[in-house]
Amino acid sequence: MSMEYFLESCCTDVEQIRRAQEAGARRIELCEKLAVGGVTPSAELLKAAISVAKVPVNVLVRPRGGDFVFSAAEADTMLRDIELCREAGAAAVVIGALDSRGDVDMPLMRRLCDAASGMSVTFHRAFDVCADPLAAFEDVLALGCDRLLTSGHESDAFKGRFFIAELVERAAGRIIVMPGCGVRRSNIARIAADTGAVEFHASSAFFD
């Protein structure tokens, strides 16, 4: 099953990485504290993950759980973490920031994207709580992000699959729209058929 699709596995430790790549994961998204939606992994975990991974490692850069409106101090932390990701050899960073209106925080996102120059950039599921998803999608495109991780502005990707299909069509090859959240062996074929997506994001449990 896993080899039929380009699958990214969300992993929080080295053992999950080993299992996922052995089962066919094509890429890893590394983070910690999934109970709060994921935060930036420790420097120790980042180094260990890069050392054992045989596939690209994309790293979540998020200083805390909760909302996606970040203070100046949190922005500085994210900029430092992006540099640590670069030094460790990460393939990409996974980032996202909104302003108090629920729009993409374009000034901060430009700073983060500039800091990530030379690495791939995924805009994460902050997109799924934005105020106007179509406007946000245009902002993500304008930033030049390589990938958008989304559940289609719904609680999971299966529920949001028809909006994801609209985003895939709007993208027209300019960005990879990657369904994530609730992608399982039991529904991935339906999500793939209904969305036209070419990459999928799943928890490490998908590969167990």
pLDDT at 9 over 90: yes
CA 126, CA 150: separation in Å to the nearest integer?
Answer: 8
If you count them, how many residues does the chain have?
A: 208
Copy the structure tokens of residue 95: 């980032």
pLDDT at 3 over 80: no
pLDDT at 59 over 50: yes
Copy the structure tokens of residue 59: 């790293």
Say what the pLDDT of residue 1 is: 44
CA 77, CA 184: separation in Å to the nearest integer?
Answer: 34
List, in order, residues 6 or more apart from 87 with CB less than 8 Å away.
none
pLDDT in tens, 137-173: 999 999 999 999 999 999 999 999 999 999 999 999 9
Give the residue ranges of DSSP H helices in 23-152: 43-52, 72-88, 106-115, 133-143
DSSP 185: T
pLDDT in tens, 73-86: 999 999 999 999 99
Q: Considering the chain, what is the average pLDDT of its residues?
A: 96
